[in-house]
Amino acid sequence: MEYRIEHDSMGEVRVPADKYWAAQTERSRGNFPIGVGIETMPKEIIRAFGILKKAAARANHALKPEKMTAGKLEAICKAADEVISGTLDAHFPLVVWQTGSGTQSNMNANEVIANRANEIAGEKLCHPNDDINMSQSSNDTFPTAMHISAVTALEDCLIPAAEGLIETFRVLEAENEGIVKSGRTHLQDAVPISFSQEISGWRSSLERDVELVRLAMKPLSELALGGTAVGTGLNAPAGFSEKVAEEISVLTGKSFVTAPNKYHALTSKDEIVFAHGAVKAMAADMMKIANDVRWLAGGPRCGLGEIRIPENEPGSSIMPGKVNPTQCEQVTMVAVQVMGNDAAIGFAASQGNFELNVFMPVIAYNFLQSVRLLSESITSFRNNCAVGIKADKEKMRHNLYNSLMLVTALNPYIGYENAAKTAKLAYKENISLKEACVKLGFLSAERFDEVFHPEEMV
């Protein structure tokens, strides 16, 4: 491999000749051989750095044109666009497990954009610190990248995935209108419910989750950029905070504003904690929905068997013909991962000391993993399971009329205690509720038929 010599404030460093990164990135590569090639800084963060570096260059050109010249701006914007598009992904090798401020990843972006900009310009025009990092600090750029990437992931990935499943459930509700089945509470038989009502519960849960995610996105729209090192805005020109937020909004097509208190923005990660709580709420509801589906589809002969779901692949290497609810299983595993990530994010966010939180890379990594996994999980569940849910009407009707909790309909006519005696006798002697009620002398057979209509109990 060929190398070139780069230098930083600590001296010279050999860097692979075919890479745009420079000394500080190379030092980090050598100092943190942890999770290399596996737990690298999320691509969403890299894209966000490209956006904020381009926005900062634009803001600096407007406020300090004598330093951020038109020539520098043009070259920086072109290089930043390549970062945003993913063209330069191979030049961002750093792992999550680095400095807790994300300084090396900020410098990775500065170095790559500077070297690529110089290549575009055909001259050594831009310096990583003086030009690409102008009016910034790692301490305000990394939390800004976190917020940009979080809002983008939630709005462009998670919400559309959830809304797609919501629409599928809405279609299933209409298809299953009028089908009455046994309800269940405590995993025990309960009074009747229509299948469309049951599905509406799934749909409504996800609709509320989307509402919560949207509420959580508002605090994430506030950006730390402009606070520089400790929140005072040292070395940033007046108006930079507002101008760079405007530029980021233009570049992303999303609404961002400058955080009103930069001391808070640098050290507290409460917005991310709150937003991930909404993500966790959706994961919890998806866990519930997936469990409902696989319980209802249990069988094919020895389970509840009230619905049929798509058979996607063989389920056993030893039992011929076995098919498992694998899409439900992937959902529940993803939900568990999201819940674990929530704990890690909460612990990390609690560790802000004085003017900075130094657990930001792990917070970003876990947050973005949760959103990515849950988005893909929901879409997979919708496409490979939910759209193919079919009611087994015969089994639903059998279970409904076999349920002892239908006796609840008799409460107004024979009272709670007599109804309980009827249910217990029916269960003990394995007879119908009608037979038990007549045997106990509570109602005549004719009167029982007059008042007992399970389909009307919904």
pLDDT digits (tens, 9 = 90+) for 173-225: 999 999 999 999 999 999 999 999 999 999 999 999 999 999 999 999 999 99
Residues found in the chain? 458
Determine phi and psi for 85, rounding to 5 degrees.
-75, -15
In the DSSP assignment, the letter for residue 8 is E
Identify the band that residue 339 occupies on the pLDDT scale cut at 50, 70 and 90: very high
| Domains, the chain | 3-134 (1.10.275.10), 154-394 (1.20.200.10), 403-457 (1.10.40.30)
What is the predicted pLDDT for the residue at 312? 95
pLDDT digits (tens, 9 = 90+) for 280-294: 999 999 999 999 999
Average pLDDT of 95-106? 98
Identify the band that residue 415 occupies on the pLDDT scale cut at 50, 70 and 90: very high
Average pLDDT of 94-122? 98
Name the amino acid, one letter, at 387. Answer: V
- What distance separates the 2 farthest-apart alpha carbons in the chain? 101
Is 186 assigned a catalytic role? yes
What is the predicted pLDDT for the residue at 370? 99
Average pLDDT of 136-161? 98
Choose among 250, 204, 200, 239: nearest CA to 55. 250
Identify the band that residue 323 occupies on the pLDDT scale cut at 50, 70 and 90: very high
pLDDT digits (tens, 9 = 90+) for 1-22: 899 999 999 999 999 999 999 9
Alpha-carbon distances of 193 from 173, 180, 293, 308, 398, rounded to whole Å:
13, 6, 16, 18, 14
Identify the band that residue 82 occupies on the pLDDT scale cut at 50, 70 and 90: very high
**End-to-end C-alpha distance for the chain, whole angstroms:** 74
Identify the band that residue 26 occupies on the pLDDT scale cut at 50, 70 and 90: very high
d(CA 46, CA 20): 14
User: Coil, strand, or helix at residue 185?
Assistant: strand
Identify the band that residue 448 occupies on the pLDDT scale cut at 50, 70 and 90: very high
- Residues 85, 204, 255, 316: which is the catalytic one? 316
pLDDT digits (tens, 9 = 90+) for 244-290: 999 999 999 999 999 999 999 999 999 999 999 999 999 999 999 99
User: Coil, strand, or helix at residue 193?
Assistant: strand
d(CA 180, CA 393): 9
d(CA 449, CA 119): 88
What is the predicted pLDDT for the residue at 371? 98
The rounded percent of the chain whose pLDDT value lies above 70 is: 100
Matching residue, tokens 């900075």: 356
Is 316 assigned a catalytic role? yes
Mean pLDDT, all residues of the chain: 97
Identify the band that residue 444 occupies on the pLDDT scale cut at 50, 70 and 90: very high
Contact call for residues 180 and 395 (beta carbons, < 8 A):
no
Residue 274: both structure tokens together: 């709150």
- Report if pTM > 0.85: yes
pLDDT digits (tens, 9 = 90+) for 362-406: 999 999 999 999 999 999 999 999 999 999 999 999 999 999 999
